[in-house]
Amino acid sequence: MDDKKMIELALEARENAYVPYSKFKVGAVVLTKDGRIFTGCNIESASFTPTICAERTALSKAISEGYRNIDTIVVVGSLEKISFPCGVCRQFIREFGKNIRIISATSTENYEVYTIEDLLPKSFGPEDLEHGNI
């Protein structure tokens, strides 16, 4: 799928955000390697800890449907300044690969493309666990 179309979908998902406290809407799109699309938005809670970011919402939807081969994640937060995944989201995304593309955008005309490895260098992932010692 075209990057600009995915940004449009993230902008649409952003409108569903539940953000009564921060008022900071975020929309996300996950594209799997076989072309499936999953959208998500951030969902806040009065007890801030259970709040879930848009990226983890979309990725959780993909994973819960059996899709683990992730190609691209699009993030749209502020419409004025490009927003990036938070640290928790970066680690969550990294679980599913080092080369997942991350598109951070404010619009279809203003966006930047990275890999999760760019945003979380020297990361810890599944391959770092010593499975024989568990």
Catalytic site residue from 12, 15, 44, 55? 55
109 in catalytic set? no
Q: How much of the chain is in helix, strand and coil states, percent to nearest 5?
A: 30, 25, 45
Q: Which of 58, 2, 65, 54 is nearest to 24 (CA)?
A: 54
Burial environment of residue 54 by CB neighbours within 10 A (0 to 12, 13 to 18, 19 or more): buried
C-alpha pair distances (Å), 75 with each of 39, 113, 130:
10, 10, 33
Residues tagged active-site:
55
